[in-house]
Amino acid sequence: MPGRDAVQTVDLRALKVACKHCNLFQLCLLAGLAEADLALLESIIERGRLFRRGDHLFQVGERFRVVCAVKSGSVKTYFPLDGGGEQVVGFHLPGELLGLDAINAETHQCNAKALGTTSVCELPFDRLEGLASVVKSVQRQMVRIMSKQISYDQAARAIHGKRHAEGRLAAFLLNLSTRFEQRGFSPLEFNLAMSRLDIGSYLGLAEETVSRLFTRFQKDGVVAVQRKYVCIRDLDRLRVAANGSYMNGAAARSD
Amino acid sequence: MPGRDAVQTVDLRALKVACKHCNLFQLCLLAGLAEADLALLESIIERGRLFRRGDHLFQVGERFRVVCAVKSGSVKTYFPLDGGGEQVVGFHLPGELLGLDAINAETHQCNAKALGTTSVCELPFDRLEGLASVVKSVQRQMVRIMSKQISYDQAARAIHGKRHAEGRLAAFLLNLSTRFEQRGFSPLEFNLAMSRLDIGSYLGLAEETVSRLFTRFQKDGVVAVQRKYVCIRDLDRLRVAANGSYMNGAAARSD
DNA sequence: CGATGAGTTGAAACGTCTCAATCTACGTGG
DNA sequence: CCACGTAGATTGAGACGTTTCAACTCATCG
């Protein structure tokens, strides 16, 4: 049946082009799948849904329908607190997934808000799971992606376990740096999409403390900061700070 | 073929009895599986491997082979620090799983050490994955369990995001309380398997601070503590403390 | 160009850490 | 069975780090 074949070919090519243009290609769920499986998976993705700064991707209690992949922009997840505050629990950069926590409860556990203009790909989970039950590589890939998330969460807890604000912020910056690098961005120079308040909430610090630490790191020549823009100038010293053995940049500078 | 049938029946019954005796039955990977699938899954589990206090279940860099389920006792996971210290990243109670973070890397990311005499069931992951690719309900269950872990990790980050030591310890105790309850233990009375130092490492606090907070909570009548033993006396006030609006028990007591 | 929100800075109050001493429970060997 | 050693837990006091509240600066946008 040549007609059908032709249609299929066109479809595949269109899809591939669409995803090739997305520089996250190898980073989301798609990586490591055979050509044919990939086409199947791509066919269920809703591509490039757009959110403005402050828009919610989802909120606590909403029924879980889709897993989201950040295409561009970034997203924070948080628990709303009584009194209007927010407890930030995560930041999601391009190429990272969102919503995996809701699969089990079938209801979203937290709010997700765009930190700037953000484009998102959505995978309807029921279709994804249906596909996984047929295509072995999709199932395998799903489990691996969730495992990666769990190991990332564990590393995040090591950041929070640091006793000093300095160590926590340094470890946080290193974590961002690594994640940017993994996504093909510069590991030494990037823009923080989130506010000082968000960083503080995430790290368990007051926003003023975050601000002061940035200026201290800057004075010590460890990073250069201007508002959202961050440039890591001395990776080694930043690592030392993250390991908790930095304490007082002036002393470290003096030799 | 009656002979074969008979053998199978005996096997199944033996397995079922073994798992019925394990009061975690419905809590580990086995929950929600059809009778037949359950039998298949049970057949690959190595049951009741025993560890003494201080023994390692696995260590960083070791090849990942099995997912562990804590049967009795408890386990801490941690990153070893240069200098001999430990950054504790998790505690695992009976019925909870261990090692999901290593699936993707195929190598363990952290150390796991028994906090007391601990019995563990082990599921060889390659066989589990093989089974998942054939039995749909196993695959489904695996994804749900990993999702639950991810949502648990997110909640843990909310604990760490609290700015005051008091809130972190209160939230930590509430978290333990909930987990004990889910496993059929008393939510108001339990023994802490981990040391104050471990709790401090996990929460980003000095061990002395943890100790002082316990005595303060005790003085305020929120909990009764004696070494490892903890009894929650005033759940509401503990919740208030966890929400950060407690601050100074004496003042709270005075009205 | 004024309004707004985010970020920075200062000073004082407060919380947490550090170091050191003491205490307790527990296991070991005499 | 007791004495002892040890590891974990508690307590105190002072140093230090972080928060709080407030004022101020800076960028952005209508």
Q: A82-137: per-residue pLDDT in tens?
A: 888 999 999 999 989 999 999 999 999 999 999 999 999 998 999 989 888 888 88
B120 or B42, which is more confident: B120
Nearest in space to B41 (alpha carbons), one of B30, B31, B25, B49 = B30
Q: Touching check for B182 and chain A: CB below 8 Å?
A: no
Chain B positions touching A104 (Cβ under 8 A) are 144-145, 147-148, 151
Nearest-CB residue to A150 (from B144, B149, B157): B149
Residues near B99 by beta carbon (within 8 Å), at least 6 away in sequence: B58, B64, B66, B67, B68, B108, B112
Quickly list H helices, chain B.
2-20, 35-42, 125-134, 136-160, 165-182, 196-203, 207-219, 235-242, 249-253
Contact residues for B14 (Cβ-Cβ < 8 A; gap 6+)? none
Average pLDDT, whole number, for chain B? 86
Secondary structure, 3-state, B204-228: CCCHHHHHHHHHHHHHCCCEEEECC
Bridging pattern class, strands A97-98 and A86-92: unpaired
For residue B250, what pLDDT is reported?
41
pLDDT tens digits, B97-131: 999 999 999 999 999 999 999 999 998 999 989 98
Single pTM value for the model? 0.88
Q: What is the band of A254 on the pLDDT scale with cuts at 50, 70, 90?
A: very low
* Cα separation, B48 vs B66, whole angstroms: 13
CB contact under 8 A, A133 and B156: no
Residue closest to B110 by CA, chosen among B76, B140, B157 = B76
pLDDT of A45: 83
Please report the number of interchain residue pairs, chain A to chain B, with beta-carbon separation below 8 angstroms: 142
- Residue ranges of A 40-99 with Cβ closer than 8 A to chain B: 77, 79, 81-82, 87-90
The pLDDT tens digits for B142-151 are 999 999 999 9
Measured distance CA(A54)–CA(A195) in Å, rounded:
12
The continuous run of DSSP H or E covering A141 comes out as helix A136-160
- Residue numbers of B between 145 and 174 with CB closer than 8 Å to A: 145-151, 153-158, 160-163, 168
Tokens of B69: 């389920």
Task: Name the residue facing B158 among A89, A139, A149 (closest C-beta).
Answer: A89
